[in-house]
A and B are shown apart, each in its own frame.
Chain A
Amino acid sequence: MSEEKLKSPMDRRNFLRTCSSFVAGGVALASGGLLAAKASAKEGDVFWQIDPYKCTQCGRCETDCVLTVSAVKCFHANRVCGYCDLCGGYYRPNVKELNTAAENMMCPTGAITREFVEEPYFEYTINEELCTGCGKCVKGCTSFGNGSLFLQIDQDKCQQCNECAIAKVCPSDAIQRVPNDHAYKLKDHA
């Protein structure tokens, strides 16, 4: 095959290519522009977060997070708490005497600790390193107590997946994106 033969198709191809590249470029830019308009429309929702008032403590937060130990932790709103000795989130509902023996404890990892404040009050705190986000205590607290215990996604552990794996299986659609500066949905007043 000699140059003459090849020349003409070469030119044609070049011509075609330039045209189509312009088209493609145009398309890309146009769509980009449109979407850009969308993007700048409203302020961004960034973090995944649980709405404690929608949450039904199904326990999937523990099992369905992409992390081996879920990023969902139990939070405690001290201002909502009754501080009582007999805590629905601390003890299993059917305790006989109120001591910290294993058979009386609600939390499977012992992440809830409490210290005595004054008769008859105790302050409860949660060790997030031990918490697995199973939500047992939360269920106990919401059913018996004032709901001062609630589940939240620990933004420091959360991987900010493009799509939250828990949200996809959450039966009450409690997990939504929240803006950058409201990273948590807390229960207690400031």
Chain B
Amino acid sequence: MRKLYRNIAIVTTIFLLALSVMLGVSYYQMQQVSPLETGVMETLKELNDTNSDNEALQQQIRELDLLSRKAYFVKEGQLKMGFYLLLGMALVLVVCLNLYYRETKNLPEKDFDPIDDWMTKSRARKYLGWAAAVVALIGVGFVVVQQIDWSNMFNKEILAEVQDEGESLEVNNESSEGSGEKVDTLATDSVKGEEVDSAEVDDMPELKIASRAFRGNNSGATSAARGIATSWNLSGKKNILWQSSIPKHGYNSPVITGRNVFITGADAKARELYCYDVWTGELKWTVKADGIAGSPSSMPKVNADTGLAASTVATNGEEVCAIFATGDVICADMEGKRLWAKNIGVPDNHYGYASSLLMYGNTLIIQYQNNSNAQILALNTKNGNTAWSKKSNDKIAWSSPIIATLGGKSALVVMGNPAITAYNLGNGSELWRVECMSGEVGSSPASAGGVVFGASEYAKCVAIDGATGETLWEASDYLPECSSLAATKDLVFCATSYGMVCAYDAKTGEVKKEHDLTTPFYSSPVVVDGKVYLFSNSGKVYIFSASTFDLITSFETGEKTFATPAFTDGMMIVRTDKSLYCVKK
């Protein structure tokens, strides 16, 4: 009798195992991809949508559809049946086992009676103690790696899972590391290549020609520099004096004075002003913008294309000032000593504050035009006190102020929404105001021969007589978005963010020449040595003749470039998205 039970039990067990495996599998499939959602169907249907009534195809779809529905419902039925079957068998098994074991009962083991309760207890104690210890250790482990905040951990994990994403990440890391190394080697190599050892470096002369603000002195988009190389090659180090990595990211452009090159960088953790040596490219010093009263604890929300350090610094040869999207303004001397710092109020700016600074003698000019409170600030560079400030109810703008010579006198020209306004640099009194702008004004004006040129993608391109403030001409053939205008007294150069570049006639406003380069431009053109230098976002360099606007040459540099280069005699400093390099013949 018992034998029978045993056999039944055995058989049922085998069946149970087989069945449960089968069920498990089909259940899994059901859960994963229901037959109704096979990709084939969708693709076929889409195919059918595109090519009009293809009988065969439609037939195919209909059959497949029928098939999949059958599969779905049949499977569903099977599952239900299977489950009941499983339960039934389990029941049988248990009953059989019970019957089989009915006669035999557990009997005391030899070591059981009389049980040594105490011994077991103490053993249990040991085990538990150990277990607790292990748990505690793991816990401690956690606490140790506590520095890594978990959410990031969690994100990383997920990112790692997304295949291509993971790869791309690695790639990035590699590339960045790679570039890091490359930079180092480069720096040293170049130094060797030039046989400039430290002694000589120190004897190297200070540079005559400076570039003290965004797009050169007075932010004028022209430079008196001579002898700039018209071809270079980063990988081949041709005409490259040095290349250095930049600690923190930023879209601002380099500024040159003496033998110092200034740029800023920022991330959520810190905002910093860097000073490089123009001859060797070594990072001489860093000034942090921290511990500033009124500075926000959490970073303002900024657009990725703007970042926290979009504004270019300005210098007057003695002090250098920088501003960040947090509204922090810092001022340092040429040795990297922080003179003063203040927060002029966190800009209420949906993309992030981007207007660059400008210096005129000891006056620092800040175009502080945001959603709430738009004003022009003039600070004393010695102590940061406000020299004068001009409130206006202009709308938000991202463009940068320039200093133009209007009617023979230097004046401040600010392009905002809706007006281009000229101010007296001394006291900020308004010289003239022309309402001609609209939308989101991102590019900056230019000036040549006493005429002010301003253009914005959402409005038009206008030329204004600097003396009288009357509008000379308007045009809207091609309009810049981020890139700014550059001007000679004959031509106005404009680079759009959709790849068209053109030269307007400065007198009439008609398009003299246009090139469709089909690559976006955020960097601004600069007129140097009878040429116009222009970088595309992808890092392709275009060099035009400043007189005819014919394309002289163009070549890839291989590094994304959004900043505008700075020129000094014989040298050009370029900031790419990850490094800073110096071009010299």
Contacts and interface: CB of A to CB of B under 8 A. Distances in A.
Interface of A: 62, 68-69, 92, 94, 96, 101-103, 105, 108-110, 132, 134
Contacts of B45: 92, 103
Contacts of A62: 34
18 contacts: A68-B30, A68-B76, A94-B49, A96-B52, A96-B53, A101-B61, A101-B62, A102-B58, A103-B58, A103-B61, A103-B62, A108-B68, A108-B69, A109-B69, A109-B73, A132-B34, A132-B36, A134-B36
A45 to B, nearest CB: 30
Contacts of A108: 36-37, 68-69
Given A92-B45, A96-B52, A108-B36, A102 B62 contact: yes
B48 interface: yes
- Counting contact residues on chain B (CB < 8 A from A), the size range is 20 to 34
Classify the interface of chain A: helix, strand, loop or mixed: loop
Contacts of A68: 27, 30, 76, 79
Interface string B457-494: 00000000000000000000000000000000000000
B363 to A, nearest CB: 54
B181 interface: no
A92 B61 CA distance: 14
B1 interface: no
Contacts of B48: 103
B328 to A, nearest CB: 39
B15 interface: no
Contacts of B66: 102
B72 interface: yes
B71 to A, nearest CB: 11
Given A96-B53, A103-B61, A103-B62, A69 B76 contact: yes
Interface in B23-77: 27, 30, 34, 36-37, 44-45, 48-49, 52-53, 58, 61-62, 64-66, 68-69, 72-73, 76
A109 B36 contact: yes
Contact of B61 (A96, A102, A109): A102
Contacts of A110: 69
Contacts of B36: 108-109, 132, 134
A106 to B, nearest CB: 11
B187 to A, nearest CB: 51
Contacts of A69: 76
A101 B60 CA distance: 11
A169 to B, nearest CB: 14
B81 to A, nearest CB: 12
Nearest to B63: A102
B491 to A, nearest CB: 52
List of 4 A-B pairs having minimum Cβ-Cβ separation, nearest first:
A102-B65, A108-B36, A102-B62, A103-B61
